[in-house]
Amino acid sequence: MKKIVLLLCLLAGVVSAHAQFEKGTWLVNPSATGLGLSYDTQTDKATFGLDVNGGAFVADNLALLIRGGLAWNENGGDADVYSLGVGTRYYFHKVGVFVGANVNVDRWDWGRYDDTKFSFGLEAGYAFFLSKTVTLEPAAYWNVNGDWSKFGLKLGFGLYF
């Protein structure tokens, strides 16, 4: 009997999660990137950053997003990066596993010198539903441009409307 109740609860969770990935649903996703675990191949240092994604599902399981981000490097004297971009995210099999891609314009600031570069990013993660509209979203990401690549982990919250 316990196994049947558990199976019904899991099935209800999968069905309610899928409703959040339907066309017309809006998504807001603030997240902390790096968490001391990212690594930048150009500066050879760890970073901490904040990202915010927002957008809408244009088809079931497919969201188009606008992205903004800030990243601070350790020791304060290294480059800080400000990003603005667009992206997409696809959710698999109604359970919250997702992959995403984005294109960004990054503004690098070294204090007296700054530079603007385009970058490309990939991410993969899982949307764990805490309630019907709030998720905890751990993900791994990778960003690259002509001069550097960066990979790391991020932890965010998703709000589905």
Domain boundaries, the chain: 2-160
Q: How confident is residue 8, by pLDDT bands cut at 50, 70 and 90?
A: very low
**Mean pLDDT over residues 110-127, rounded?**
88
**Is residue 38 predicted with pLDDT exceeding 50?**
yes
Q: Which residue has the tokens 């109604």?
A: 94
Calculate mean pLDDT across residues 96-111.
Answer: 90
DSSP notation for the chain: -HHHHHHHHHHHHHHHHHHTTSTT-EEEEEEEE-TT--EETTT-S-EEEEEEEEEEEEETTEEEEEEEEEEEETTSSS-EEEEEEEEEEEEETTTTEEEEEEEEEEEEE-SS-EEEEEEEEEEEEE-EESSSSEEEEEEEEEEE-SS-EEEEEEEEEEEE-
- For residue 13, the model assigns a pLDDT of 47
**Residue labelled with tokens 């316990």:** 2
Q: Determine whether domain 2-160 maps to CATH 2.60.120.380.
A: no
| Look-up of token digits 């530079």 | 115
Give the pLDDT mean for 133-156.
87
Q: pTM of this prediction?
A: 0.76
